[in-house]
C-alpha cells in the first residue's frame, strides 16, 4: 500500500471503530439508565461505565493497571474506584500475593445487572450482524481475530 492508501485505510478503520464504540456506549448507557432506576447503575458517567467494563473483562485489576488501561492517572482511578465502591459496584481487596497492592473487582451484587446490560449490547450486535449478512460477518470475524492476535502479541511484548 502507498502512504495515502495506508492513511485512508487507517482513517476508515478508526472512524468505523469509533462508530462501533459509540454504539456500544449508547446502548450501555441506555441499559444502565434503565437498570439504574432501581439500582446503583443510575446516572453513571461514560468513564465509570468504561471502568466497570474494563474490570469486568479482566475479573481483577490493580489501580495502576486500570490507570494504564484507561489512560488516566492512578489518583484519578483511585477516586473513581472509591465512588464505585461506595455505590456497591466495585470492591477493593488486598492482593493475596502482594499485600501492598489492592485488587479491584466487580462487586458480586453488580454482576447480574452487568450481565443483563451486556445482553442488551449483544442484542445490538446481533442486529448489526443480521444487517451486514453472513458473508460479511464471516470476513469481519476473521479480520477481528487477526487484529486480536496482533494486539495481544503487541501487548505481551510491551510488558
**Region 74-79: what's the mean pLDDT?**
90
Query: pLDDT tens digits for 12-60?
Result: 899 998 998 888 878 777 776 666 555 666 677 777 877 888 888 888 8
- Predicted structure pTM score: 0.66
In degrees, rounded to 5, the angle at the alpha carbon of residue 114 between the alpha carbons of residues 113 and 117 is 90
| pLDDT in the model for residue 146 | 93
Q: Would the CA dihedral through 34, 38, 41, 43 be positive or negative? A: positive
Which stretches does DSSP call E strand in the chain? 61-62, 90-94, 102-106
Query: pLDDT tens digits for 101-134?
Result: 889 999 988 888 778 778 888 888 899 899 999 9
Amino acid at each position: 500500500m502507498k502512504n495515502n492508501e495506508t492513511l485512508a485505510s487507517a482513517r476508515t478503520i478508526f472512524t468505523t471503530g469509533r462508530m462501533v464504540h459509540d454504539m456500544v456506549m449508547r446502548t450501555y448507557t441506555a441499559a444502565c439508565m434503565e437498570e439504574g432506576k432501581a439500582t446503583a447503575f443510575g446516572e453513571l458517567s461514560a468513564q465509570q461505565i468504561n471502568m466497570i467494563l474494563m474490570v469486568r473483562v479482566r475479573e481483577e485489576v490493580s489501580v495502576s493497571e486500570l490507570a494504564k488501561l484507561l489512560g488516566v492517572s492512578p489518583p484519578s482511578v483511585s477516586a473513581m474506584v472509591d465512588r464505585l465502591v461506595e455505590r456497591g459496584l466495585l470492591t477493593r481487596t488486598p492482593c493475596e500475593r502482594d499485600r501492598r497492592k489492592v485488587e479491584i473487582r466487580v462487586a458480586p451484587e453488580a454482576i447480574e445487572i452487568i450481565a443483563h446490560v451486556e445482553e442488551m449490547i449483544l442484542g445490538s450486535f446481533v442486529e448489526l450482524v443480521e444487517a451486514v449478512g453472513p458473508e460479511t460477518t464471516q470476513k469481519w470475524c476473521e479480520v477481528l481475530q487477526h487484529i486480536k492476535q496482533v494486539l495481544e502479541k503487541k501487548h505481551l511484548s510491551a510488558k
